[in-house]
């Protein structure tokens, strides 16, 4: 587990760097594509969603009971339909990338402009961790370029 400080501009900057964002999303897609057929099936995407453990019920001290299996299945189906833009029954790389872009931009909007400390999983690959690392690398590159310019000006 890592803790990063970020805000909406951190995430937007990561998404705006199309090469870096595509590499990150494509790596996640490849990890989810268990059978290597180049598309995500309903089952492959569901396994990924289940790994987030968002529907465990009484987690975090909640008194709410776990949702019924039919409710969980309906939710996973709705998420799959959101990713499967062409309704082909499978999510291709472009659909996955487009939906992840929309999700990350929504996260950026939700984060707003006030810096927040966020705990992120650094073992499974976190888009928020990658966004923070991207921002840090961008800042480091600007500082290095500025130092190099100052050194050549002397």
Mean pLDDT for the chain?
87
d(CA 110, CA 104): 10
Q: CA torsion angle for 99, 104, 106, 111 (degrees, to 10)?
A: 170
Predicted confidence (pLDDT) per residue in 79-128, tens digit: 999 999 999 999 999 999 999 999 999 999 999 999 989 888 777 668 88
Strands (E) in the chain, as ranges, are 2-6, 39-40, 91-92, 116-120
Compare 20 and 51 and report the one with higher pLDDT. 20
């Amino acid at each position: 587990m890592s803790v990063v400080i970020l805000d909406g501009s951190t995430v937007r900057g990561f998404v705006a760097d199309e090469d870096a964002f595509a590499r990150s999303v494509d790596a996640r897609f490849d990890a989810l594509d268990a059978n290597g057929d180049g598309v995500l099936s309903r089952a492959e995407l569901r396994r990924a969603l289940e790994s987030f453990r968002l529907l465990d019920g009484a987690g975090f001290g909640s008194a709410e009971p776990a949702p019924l299996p039919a409710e969980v299945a309906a939710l996973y189906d709705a998420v799959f339909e959101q990713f499967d833009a062409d309704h082909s029954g499978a999510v291709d790389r472009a659909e996955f990338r487009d939906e992840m872009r929309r999700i990350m931009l929504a996260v950026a909007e939700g984060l707003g402009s006030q810096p927040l400390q966020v705990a992120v999983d650094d073992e499974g690959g976190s888009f928020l961790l990658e966004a923070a690392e991207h921002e840090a690398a961008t800042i480091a590159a600007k500082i290095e370029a500025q130092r190099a310019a100052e050194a050549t000006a002397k």
